Amino acid sequence: MSDMLAIGKQIMASQPFSQLLKTEITQFAPGHVEMKIPIAHELKQQHGFLHGGVVSYAADNALTFAAGSMMNVPIVTSEFKINYVRPAIGETLIARATVVYVGKTQAVCRSDLFIVKDGVEKLCAVAQGTIVRIGQERS
Amino acid sequence: MSDMLAIGKQIMASQPFSQLLKTEITQFAPGHVEMKIPIAHELKQQHGFLHGGVVSYAADNALTFAAGSMMNVPIVTSEFKINYVRPAIGETLIARATVVYVGKTQAVCRSDLFIVKDGVEKLCAVAQGTIVRIGQERS
Amino acid sequence: MSDMLAIGKQIMASQPFSQLLKTEITQFAPGHVEMKIPIAHELKQQHGFLHGGVVSYAADNALTFAAGSMMNVPIVTSEFKINYVRPAIGETLIARATVVYVGKTQAVCRSDLFIVKDGVEKLCAVAQGTIVRIGQERS
Amino acid sequence: MSDMLAIGKQIMASQPFSQLLKTEITQFAPGHVEMKIPIAHELKQQHGFLHGGVVSYAADNALTFAAGSMMNVPIVTSEFKINYVRPAIGETLIARATVVYVGKTQAVCRSDLFIVKDGVEKLCAVAQGTIVRIGQERS
């Protein structure tokens, strides 16, 4: 395991909500991150799909980790947007995010969300958002 | 309790993820919904704030319930956007959503997210999104 | 005319693109702005509707002016999102924007876009976005 | 010139607003489009940069053309989101858009906006949005 992935795992372990959802970080390199969430029953909505809120959490968290991989300051998501393109039915949710632009006080990132069903990955959502240095953006 | 609120509570109870987060629907009327989430430790991130993923889940769910209050068909969130404006530190998260536009196959809604700390409500995020009839938008 | 509206008109007059589109600022007060665009043929798309690009320009510009009404620093739009809810057919486009949150280095604003046809106003789009202090957000 | 590019040029020529801005479509293939706008004085804002409204128009138009390249029905932009990452100073704006997902009634696309200055391309904005079949989404 790379040193960077080890750091990523430590940060993920320090997020109680990510622990509740059993999010695992599987790749972490400058400008890129991958994380996985096993689709347990308690993460679903009433039609048996993964709840959109889990997908948006994964998108948000992946955007923030991607930005964090290139910004050596405490950061927070300022805003993001997500498009759901397919119902999320399967065993695992995968979020991959990349940095599109990084400056001193902000990064803009994109995230692709995939659902794995019977071993086949399918795109289920795409996201885009801004991550900012804490204390820079808030008054 | 109104009949409509009773129906809202039934739908919320049928969402395993909403049960996991202990989301309670407190108002439900045509074009409007209010829901509350008690801020438990396991919903936080590493700095002790409520995880942004919980806030975005609440925004998404409120947008969908608001749309559902005016569309008599099965629906799903197509997309939404959220801006976080203040760190979410407090006892309770409140999401209120209203319908801005409703047509036969889609609704556009807005949601305001408030954090309650020592009994005082403060805006912590704002969201806007599209909810669509299931089967209409997906191929 | 208020002093503030006079300042708004001066800024609008200094934007060549706003002059090209004949945008007029009609209200300007702390946290609020209203602007109008006469719907000339050259602003349309191929189906005879006002081009979405004009609507998004109006949304963007209104968001920025609204933020500017409460921030005494040079600013720029960082990002925004727009939902079109009705085809824009009519004589005039009206954009009204309000400030939802303002801090030292950013503001989050919302904008409602109306089309006036035969004297009747109808909502045609809604937008939400972030305006930031220049030099703060860019590297 | 490919037949498809010829069709793209014809559609662009039928949009009065695109004619006003002198937008040229330079690539058009299934799932992909490229368009260019020469940065004339009248497209600028008060600081001498290209007005954000021109950038958002280009993003919107590129998203729609990209979707149109894969949907054989009349379409319209339903919503989009744009992040500006650098001030747009230069000679030419380039918008490139690709289809991320396409179904029967909607497509989700992404667009990258570049500014060309002294012959060098730099990313200045990124966008993501939904394009829908006309008549499907509106009531």
Quick one: tokens of D75?
């379409």
Report how far residue A53's alpha carbon sits from residue A118's, in angstroms, rounded to the nearest whole number: 23
Using DSSP's 3-state secondary structure scheme, residue D138 falls into coil
Mean pLDDT computed over A100-117: 96
Q: How do residues D37-67 score in pLDDT, each as one tens digit?
A: 999 999 999 889 999 999 999 999 999 999 9
pLDDT band at A138 (very low <50, low <70, confident <90, very high): very low
List % helix, strand, coil for chain C (3-state, nearest 5): 25, 45, 30
pLDDT band at D136 (very low <50, low <70, confident <90, very high): low
pLDDT score recorded for residue C139: 38
Report in angstroms the alpha-carbon separations of A121 from A90, A127, D101. Answer: 9, 17, 14
Q: Would the CB atoms of B138 and A86 count as touching at under 8 Å? A: yes
Mean pLDDT computed over A81-88: 96
- C85 min Cα distance to partner chain B (Å): 7
pLDDT score recorded for residue A95: 98
Binding-face residues of A in 94-133 toward B, CB within 8 A: none
pLDDT band at A126 (very low <50, low <70, confident <90, very high): very high
pLDDT score recorded for residue C138: 43
Q: How do residues C9-68 score in pLDDT, each as one tens digit?
A: 999 999 999 999 999 999 999 999 999 999 999 999 988 999 999 999 999 999 999 999
Report how far residue D114's alpha carbon sits from residue A82's, in angstroms, rounded to the nearest whole number: 23
**b (16+ CB within 10 A) / e for D87-122:** bbebebbbbbbebbbbbebbbbbbbbbbbbeeeeee
> What separation, in Å, do the N-terminal and C-terminal C-alpha atoms of chain B show?
39
Report the mean per-residue pLDDT for chain D.
95
Low-confidence ranges of chain B (pLDDT < 50): 137-139
List % helix, strand, coil for chain D (3-state, nearest 5): 25, 45, 30
Side-chain-side CA neighbours of A22 within 13 Å: the count stands at 9
Q: Would the CB atoms of B136 and D105 count as touching at under 8 Å? A: yes
Residue B29's CB is within 10 A of a number of other CB atoms, namely 13
Asked if pLDDT for residue C136 goes beyond 60, the answer is: no
Closest chain B residue to A88 measured between Cα atoms? B76
pLDDT score recorded for residue A1: 80
Report how far residue C55's alpha carbon sits from residue C51's, in angstroms, rounded to the nearest whole number: 7
Contacts (Cβ under 8 Å, ≥6 apart) of C56? C82, C125, C127, D53, D56, D57, D60, D80
Contact assessment for residue A61 and residue A23, using Cβ atoms and an 8 Å cutoff: yes
Q: Spell out which residues of chain A touch residue D130, defining contact as CB-CB under 8 Å.
A: 83
Report how far residue D86's alpha carbon sits from residue C43's, in angstroms, rounded to the nearest whole number: 27
Q: Which CATH number fits domain A3-133: 1.10.1760.20, 3.40.50.1820, 2.10.109.10, 3.10.129.10?
A: 3.10.129.10
Contact assessment for residue D115 and residue D93, using Cβ atoms and an 8 Å cutoff: yes
Report how far residue B40's alpha carbon sits from residue A130's, in angstroms, rounded to the nearest whole number: 27
Residue B96 bridge partners (DSSP): B34, B112
Asked if pLDDT for residue C75 goes beyond 70, the answer is: yes
Contacts (Cβ under 8 Å, ≥6 apart) of A64? A75, A76, A77, A131, B52
Mean pLDDT computed over A12-19: 97
Q: Spell out which residues of chain C touch residue D77, defining contact as CB-CB under 8 Å.
A: 52, 84
Q: Would the CB atoms of C104 and A139 count as touching at under 8 Å? A: yes
Report in angstroms the alpha-carbon separations of C103 from A134, B9, C70, C72, C79. Answer: 13, 37, 9, 11, 16
D neighbours by CB contacts (3+ pairs under 8 Å): A, B, C
Using DSSP's 3-state secondary structure scheme, residue A106 falls into strand
Q: Spell out which residues of chain B touch residue A80, defining contact as CB-CB under 8 Å.
A: 56, 81-82
Mutation for testing the B interface, residue in C83, C110, C112 having most B CBs under 10 Å = C83
Name the pTM for this structure.
0.96
Report in angstroms the alpha-carbon separations of C49 from B104, C53, D88. Answer: 21, 11, 28
Contact assessment for residue D9 and residue C32, using Cβ atoms and an 8 Å cutoff: no
Q: Would the CB atoms of A137 and C105 count as touching at under 8 Å? A: yes
A77 and chain C in contact, CB less than 8 A: no
pLDDT band at A136 (very low <50, low <70, confident <90, very high): low
Choose among A97, B95, B113: nearest CA to C100. B113
Q: Spell out which residues of chain A touch residue C136, defining contact as CB-CB under 8 Å.
A: 105, 136
Nearest by CB to residue D53, choosing from C17, C85, C87, is C17
Report in angstroms the alpha-carbon separations of A136 from A43, A63, B46. Answer: 34, 18, 19
pLDDT score recorded for residue B139: 38
* Nearest-5° Cα angle at C85, C84 to C91: 85
Contacts (Cβ under 8 Å, ≥6 apart) of A96? A27, A32, A33, A34, A62, A111, A112, A114
Asked if pLDDT for residue D139 goes beyond 60, the answer is: no
Mutation for testing the B interface, residue in C70, C99, C101 having most B CBs under 10 Å = C101
Number of CB pairs, chain A paired with chain B, less than 8 A apart? 117
- A85 min Cα distance to partner chain D (Å): 7
Q: How do residues D15-39 score in pLDDT, each as one tens digit?
A: 999 999 999 999 999 999 999 999 9
